[in-house]
Amino acid sequence: MASPRERILEITFNLFSQQGYNSTGINQIISEAKVAKASFYQHFKSKEDLCVEFLNVRHQYWFGELNHFCDDEANLKLKILKSFDFLIYMNQKEHFRGCSFLNILSEIPMDNIKILQVIQQHKKDLRHYFSELLKDEEISDHIYLLFESSIIESQLFKSNELIERSKKIVNNLIS
């Protein structure tokens, strides 16, 4: 059986993705995770701290999955194209739920520096992922932007069509 902390984070992922950050209350999380209120506060001081931890766990999971999905591809161009296939894989796995980071970003005030910094770091790491592969800042930023817009559009329209189009553009961008 999962620990109380693990149950809290699992329920948080489900509730944040189903009903959003603002519409999810701590009492609901406590109830659905089947933990005592004291147990919740032993692990997290506030909903904001829970959100930061959720995003940190999500970051590790997401990059772990991306690297696992793409690591067996030695060819640079094919590895980058495969990263777009990863989006299709995640859409199938998570039913087009989109980016946890952008979903929460849309719900928090811009002065919530604690959560905003975690979101910004995730996006910086993704941008760095492409720049490390390509060693060409202009092209890697272009690919990063195609990747990000593909996530948003696929969530919005519940379709992988733009991901497939982005792959064709990327294929033409990289020699």
Walk along the chain (175 residues) and give the pLDDT tens digit of each residue.
Answer: 799 999 999 999 999 999 999 999 999 999 999 999 999 999 999 999 999 999 999 999 999 999 999 999 999 999 999 999 999 999 999 999 999 999 999 999 999 999 999 999 999 999 999 999 998 999 999 999 999 999 999 999 999 999 999 999 999 999 7
3-state DSSP of the chain:
CCCHHHHHHHHHHHHHHHHCCCCCCHHHHHHHHCCCHHHHHHHCCCHHHHHHHHHHHHHHHHHHHHHHHHCCCCCHHHHHHHHHHHHHHHHHHHCCCCCHHHHHHCCCCCCCHHHHHHHHHHHHHHHHHHHHHHCCHHHHHHHHHHHHHHHHHHHHHCCCHHHHHHHHHHHHHCC
Q: In this predicted structure, what is the pLDDT of residue 1?
A: 79
**Top-level class of domain 1-44:** mainly alpha
**Domain parsing of the chain, residue ranges:** 1-44, 46-173
pLDDT at residue 165, rounded to an integer = 98
- What is the predicted pLDDT for the residue at 108? 96
pTM over 0.85: yes
pLDDT value at residue 175:
78
User: CATH topology of 1-44 equal to that of 46-173?
Assistant: no
Q: Which CATH superfamily is domain 46-173 in?
A: Tetracycline Repressor, domain 2 (1.10.357.10)
